[in-house]
Structure 1
Amino acid sequence: MDWNRIEGNWKQAKGKIKEQWGKLTDDDLDQIAGKRDQLEGKIQERYGIEKDRIRRDIDDWTGRQTW
């Protein structure tokens, strides 16, 4: 799935993102507001994962989305 589509459907995406990355809060997701780079940074902050792995994880996650 194209990131522009996720950004455009951010309200729907927030729930699916919380399912995948449960340590992210509603406030985090509101602050991210669909910006992929901010999502990467917040996941890195909450989980302590390296940036390259986060990018791969997000790419894998977006590839599995069907809406």
Structure 2
Amino acid sequence: MMKITRSWREQKIMLKRRFSNLCDEDFEFEESQKESMLDNLALKLNKTRLELQKLFAELQTY
């Protein structure tokens, strides 16, 4: 299980700095649509869901 040390806001900022094709709208979701938002992020970044999970885990180490 991944330990979350950064806020969602911090993670969004870090991802937007790293991937210039991301915008605020890419991170918007209703609680019931979180999985859909993550699928859309993975698609936009051309990554699998596993790669996306690893990316979020990596953000926790900065």
TM-score (norm 1): 0.56
Structure 1's 62 and 21: CA in aligned 2 closer, same or farther, altered over 3 A? farther
Gaps of 5+ in 2: none
Partner SS for 1:63: coil
How many residues end up aligned between the 2 structures?
58
Distance 2:51 2:29 in 1: 19
Q: After superposition, give the CA deviation of every residue in 1:26-62 in whole Å (9 maximum; x if it has no partner).
A: 2223x148xx756632321202211111111110112
Tell me the residue number matched to 1:6.
7
- Work out whether residues 21 and 43 of structure 1, in 8 Å CA contact, stay in contact via their aligned partners in 2: no
Tell me the residue number matched to 2:54.
56
Q: Pairwise CA RMSD of aligned residues?
A: 2.9
Partner SS for 1:49: coil
More helix by share: 1
Gaps of 5+ in 1: none
